[in-house]
Amino acid sequence: MSQQSLSTTAVIRESAEVRFADELQRLTLADKDNPKPQGWLRSPRAVRRFILGDDELKISQKFFGDDALIDRAIVTLLGRQGLMLVGEPGTAKSMLSELFAAAISGDSGLTIQGTAGTTEDHIKYSWNYALLLAEGPTQRALVSSPLYQGMVQGKMVRFEEITRCPPEIQDVLVSLMSEKQMMIPEMGEGARVSACPGFNLIATANLRDRGVHEMSAALKRRFNFETVRPIQDPAFEIELINMQLKRELGDLTNTIAIPENVIELLVTTFQELRSGNTRDGGNIQTPDAVMSSAEAVNIAYACALEAHYLGDGVLNAGAVARQLIGVVLKDNADDIKRIRYYMDNVARERARHSDVWKAFFNASKEFWR
């Protein structure tokens, strides 16, 4: 395959350092007088501006939630402890880790994806066996992991879904995080890699994965934990979803009508199913399915595309119901009962007084036939 065939003129999603290259350049130019930690491309002040936004420099806000969490996370990354971002699925943990890596190191690609199949080789290093047989354990034969590269280059490394890894694999990190060194016994006594300034680890873990592989106490001590929480304010979530939806749609934004009451219905439904409490004071059972703001944006985006390509160009509540059912009703029989209870009791009652809720409720009925 030629190099030309590997390249494309457009991609679905660029890395943060590419998507926000102009913003990062402006931040760098304005960051000359601020003190920078050794190994960091930008100062902590610039990193904060990059994530939380700055109107004067035309830096977009990328994280919406607890600003103090960003400050604490930056302080953690300045020290010897790693940063552990925990929370419910869809609360922007991975996005945050990407933004930190892009702003601090200019490279968000040094990433380890935790799975049940993650091995010690994925975390440390492996070998090119053809070169290993020909030359022995040389530097040329060594295949470095993202963590290895981060240590050598003095960059932030991301470890996604760390609790998906078996405990013995997680614990490989204990000595690496403590000593900031990686031993390579195959290359002889004393062969090691020492981390350069700027290296640190940003890990993420879902609270719902606690029962998968609990982290050892020794590994927990190597991290400072920060919990990324869902958005609680409905008005703020509506504003956020509208903004994110317009960003996702791009040029299509001006061709699709997005009624405010439909987005309000979407947010109300998500907030109620997420919390277990309706705005009318009722109690409902929460589904096991993810009811995050990110998932709500995905639903709104899918509904908008349906309106553009298959409908009349107007995002409608019936499409929201159809997409919501697909999100919630996966393979959990209890979730089916919970969402049906919500539709039959909460949505049905509101449908008597609201056309948008009526469209929402009527579209949901086809799933119970």
Q: What is the pLDDT of residues 95-132, one digit of tens each?
A: 999 999 999 999 999 999 999 899 999 999 999 999 99
Percent of the chain scored above 70 by pLDDT?
Answer: 95
Q: Are 203 and 84 in contact (CB under 8 A)?
A: yes
pLDDT at 326 over 90: no
Tens-place pLDDT, residues 193-210: 999 999 999 999 988 765
The whole-number pLDDT of residue 212 equals 64
- Tell me what the mean pLDDT of segment 309-332 comes to: 88
Q: What type of residue sits at position 87?
A: G
The whole-number pLDDT of residue 1 equals 46
Q: Which residue has the higher pLDDT, 358 or 5?
A: 358
Report how far residue 292's alpha carbon sits from residue 90's, in angstroms, rounded to the nearest whole number: 5
The whole-number pLDDT of residue 181 equals 95
pLDDT at 79 over 70: yes
Report how far residue 328's alpha carbon sits from residue 5's, in angstroms, rounded to the nearest whole number: 39
Report how far residue 177's alpha carbon sits from residue 83's, in angstroms, rounded to the nearest whole number: 11
The answer, as to whether pTM is greater than 0.85, is yes
**Structure tokens that stand for 225 in this block:** 């934990």
The whole-number pLDDT of residue 207 equals 80
- Tell me what the mean pLDDT of segment 229-256 comes to: 92
The whole-number pLDDT of residue 210 equals 58
Provide DSSP, 271-326: HHHHHSB-TTS-B-PPPSS---HHHHHHHHHHHHHHHHHTSSSB--HHHHHHHHHH
Tens-place pLDDT, residues 264-278: 999 999 999 999 999
